[in-house]
Amino acid sequence: MGISLESPIKTLIRVGQSASGRLKKLGLTTVRDLLFYYPSRYEDYSAIVAIRDLRPETMCTVQGEVLSISNKITPHKRQKITELFVSDGADSIKAVWFNQPYLATQIKEGDSVSLAGKIEYTGFGLEMRAPEWEKMVITNYELRARNNKSTGWTNGIHTARMVPVYPLTAGVTNRQMRFLISRAFESVGEVEEWIQENYELPITNYQLLGIQDAIKNIHYPESKDLLAKARFRLKFEELFFLQLRKAITRHEVKNAQATVISFEEAAIRKFVQSLPFRLTDAQRKAAWTIIKDCGREVPMNRLLQGDVGSGKTIVALIAMLNTALNGYQAVLMAPTEILAKQHFQSVCKFLEGWDKIEVALWTRSAKKCKIEIKNSKVLAMIKSGEVDIIIGTHALIQEQVEFHNLALAIVDEQHRFGVVSLRGSNSDQSNLAAKIASPSARNDIIRSPHFLSMTATPIPRSLSLTAYGDLDISILDEMPKGRKKIITKPVPTESRNKAYEFIAAQIKEGRQVFVICPLIDESDKLGVKAVTSEHEKLDKQIFPHIPVGLLHGKLKDKEKDEVQERFVKEEYKILVATSVVEVGVDVPNASVMMIEGADRFGLAQLHQFRGRVGRADHQSYCFLFTDSQSQNVYERLEFLSREADGFKIAEYDLQLRGAGNMYGKEQHGILEFKIASFQDYKLIELTQTLARDIIEKDPRLGSYPTIKKKLEEEGGAVHLE
């Protein structure tokens, strides 16, 4: 039986259980996984240099015959070293490896070897330390040392070329990875090409490399030009299939049926005029767009994004109120219980006087309505349709909640649920889909509700095109008038005590303070403040007479909510927290955000922290503490000090750090690419246009069998009906 892309790695070579486990940590279980596991960088060992021409601090390959190899122990540090002398027929050089005595059994005197690495000068001459090595086959016995030619050597995989370096885990080496991938490439034969000439795709101008050549040259590039072409082809492939899945989802949504929610203009106008503030133009535009979307039979599938404090909740409430006035239910799902409670309190406050609109809260620990009723009756009221607006957490989809005629579903900070689109295929999505696809009150057609996702995370355009390519997007790019700019300052170590004095003065004036730390456990290696030790220091030493709370991700959800509630009630004046506070409660009384180890966070994440303060009339401050002396760190923090626009900050951070680092580990929904990046903006646009055109013409991909096959092989459950 031949080896295919789906064959387990153990079919290539005998791999033990422990080795299999280590490879699995890297996501490698099949031959396909190996071939599409890309190098993170390359070492250029393509220059084959005669020993007499070697120069210190250069990277190159030396080829020759082993004169001797032996193991020794250094007299002072008692280190095991392996020494090898190699000659190219004219001169010789020493190579040294540390703590690898087994090499003396693998390499023998007289072997022809190729060594690659950095040439170093010691007090005793030139040598190579821990070079890559491999035995070589000589096709012409003469070394041709006289004229310094090395054309008699065959190319290897560790030396004499651009050598790939892979992301690794403990117990897996680059040498092993190169061997496994080369064996996979040799064994699998031709990888099927999904781009067929008869598809007539508008990509001929890009001269895409064939998939076989692309895989070969991404791992073992024959030249820098071919490496660039291989990278482009594989980036195109990754982005195209991502966009294709988004296009399919988008098409399915547009071909589903939704309840038409009419615009109750007079009532909504009355509600808006009753608000204690004036809506921004951005809020008005977003609310009107959402109302128009909900007035169609096609389900809305929209993302509402805006900076912290830009007023997303009131836009969502306008949409929910309009839904309720039409006689349908609306649901708002928040990532945490305390946030759900705050939404419930805000909605009830804004709807004072709207007695016919009933609002319910449904979380694990709280089930209640705007009116005073027994908790046990809330479930029945939701099911019967007596409740118009339901606000809750994950409990809405995990518990026995049945909706009467749900027409609008809103999810706040959607990525916190570990999902990218609620119309996808994972278990949470399926659970919610089953609940929200309810029979229309007017007929027996199963109708999909309109869907709105909200995020306070400013998302750069290139990221929104990919992570949210199936959604329409509304942006709140204005802040309510009267908001004071948060004064942001990087604080050097020597100014720490002054900052503490300032904090004490703010607390004396009745204000509260956030303190953010990057880690839970102390780590001298990283040199950053741990939240536990920081809490103890502030509580016991710096502010012994001020109540200090502690919040981190290892606390149970109930404990987190209790800590945050005590902070809201001003029982704690200072809250020391990890990044779990990034999307959290509204504490208008907090005026100071103090961030330890600020250099450990992305600018976009720092901006999110900063948004926890500045929510009332008093002046607020953000202090960025760092012990780093790096000029790059200083420039980043200075940029944040000057810039208040979250979208500009996100774009800047994306260029510097990439999406995986800019938002931190809490942002589960942010995409991580294998080879593409969000800097590939033109390619992102190209693949999105191409994917949407294909799905518009042929949603079942009947005319594109190889594309459909690859999509099904790699994409899991994809609906093409």
Whichever domain contains 91, its CATH number is 2.40.50.140
pLDDT tens profile 664-697: 544 444 567 889 887 788 898 899 999 999 999 9
- Which of 446, 476, 506 is at the close of a domain? 476
Please report how the helices 337-350 and 557-568 are oriented relative to each other, as an axis angle in degrees rounded to 10: 40
182-188 LR contacts (CB < 8 Å, sep 24+): 182/157, 182/219, 182/220, 183/12, 183/13, 184/9, 184/12, 184/31, 184/34, 184/35, 185/35, 185/215, 185/216, 185/219, 187/3, 187/12, 187/31, 188/3, 188/4, 188/5, 188/7, 188/31, 188/35
Contacts 24+ apart (CB under 8 A), 425-430: 425/716, 425/717, 428/394, 428/397
Q: Average pLDDT of 67-81?
A: 87
Q: Is residue 256 part of a domain?
A: no
Q: In terms of Cα–Cα distance, which of 284, 285, 283, 291 is closest to 261?
A: 291
- pLDDT (0 to 100) of residue 440: 39
Q: Tell me whether residue 692 is in a domain.
A: no
Mean pLDDT of 567-593: 84
Q: Are residues 47 and 180 in the same domain?
A: no
Q: What percent of the chain has pLDDT over 70?
A: 85
Together in a domain, 338 and 471: yes
For residue 134, give the 3-state DSSP assignment.
strand
CATH of the domain at 581: 3.40.50.300
Which of these three, 130, 165, 200, is where a domain ends? 165
Tell me the range of 195-199, 440-444, 582-586, 695-699 where mean pLDDT is highest: 695-699
171 touches 22 (CB < 8 A):
yes
**Could you tell me if residue 549 is inside a domain?**
yes
Q: What is the pLDDT of residue 436?
A: 53
Whether the pLDDT of residue 425 is over 50: the answer is no
Looking at the fold, whether 307 and 445 belong to one and the same domain comes out as yes
Of 429-433, 638-642, 714-718, the one with minimum mean pLDDT is 429-433
Average pLDDT over residues 65-70: 94
Residue whose entry in the numeric block shows the structure tokens 């300032």: 502
Domain of residue 435 covers: 265-476
Any idea which residue has 């994440």 for tokens? Answer: 605
Asked if 454 and 508 sit in the same domain, the reply is no
Report pLDDT for 435: 56
Number of helices (H) and strands (E) in the chain: give both, helices first: 23, 24
* Stretch (H or E) spanning 18: helix 17-25
Report the pLDDT averaged over residues 349-371. 87
Residue 145 lies in a domain: yes
382 and 271, same structural domain?
yes
Q: Residue 146 — pLDDT band, cuts 50, 70, 90?
A: very low
* Dihedral in degrees, nearest 10, Cα atoms 120, 121, 124, 126: 60
Strands 446-447 and 438-439: antiparallel
Query: Are residues 400 and 549 both part of a single domain?
Result: no
Residue 673 neighbours by CB under 8 Å, 6+ apart: 238
Q: Phi/psi at 120 (nearest 5 deg)?
A: -120, 150
Q: Are 581 and 664 in contact (CB under 8 A)?
A: no
What are the residues facing 119 on neighbouring strands?
Answer: 128
- pLDDT the model gives residue 109: 93
Distance of CA 20 to the CA centre of its chain: 26
Q: What are phi and psi of 274, to 5 degrees?
A: -85, -10
Give pLDDT tens digits for 273-306.
999 999 999 999 999 999 999 999 999 989 998 8
pLDDT attached to residue 677:
81
Instruction: Report the distance separating Cα 501 and Cα 571, nearest Å.
Output: 21
Q: Are 48 and 108 within one domain?
A: yes
Asked if the structure places residue 79 within a domain, the reply is yes
Rounded Cα distance between 404 and 481, Å, is 39
Tell me, yes or no, whether 139 lies in a domain.
yes
Helices assigned H by DSSP within 449-556: 461-467, 496-508, 531-537
Which ranges of 487-602 does DSSP label H, i.e. alpha helix?
496-508, 531-537, 557-568
Q: How far apart are CA 577 and CA 421, in angstroms?
A: 29
Examine the domain organization and report whether 492 and 446 are in the same domain. Answer: no
Among 64, 194, 224, 60, residue whose Cα is nearest residue 138: 64
Q: What does the pLDDT look like over 488-504, one tens digit per residue?
A: 999 888 888 999 999 99
In tens, the pLDDT along 85-112 reads 999 989 999 999 999 999 999 999 999 9
35 and 47 in a single domain? The answer is: no
pTM over cut 0.75: no
pLDDT band for position 527 (cuts 50, 70, 90): very low
The share of the chain scoring above pLDDT 90, in percent, equals 51
Based on the domain organization, do 459 and 494 belong to the same domain?
no
Amino acid at 422: L
What is the arithmetic mean of pLDDT over 464-482?
Answer: 79
**How many structural domains does the chain have?**
4
Q: Is the pLDDT of residue 703 over 70?
A: yes
Q: Is residue 1 part of a domain?
A: no
271 and 416: one domain? Answer: yes
β-bridge mates for residue 138, sequence order: 153
For residue 69, the cross-strand partners are 84
Q: Are residues 549 and 440 in the same domain?
A: no
Q: Which strand (E) or helix (H) includes residue 266?
A: helix 265-274
Residue 428 lies in a domain: yes
Alpha helices in 36-157 (DSSP H): 103-106
Confidence of residue 659 (pLDDT cuts 50, 70, 90): low
Pick from 285, 335, 329: nearest CA to 450: 329
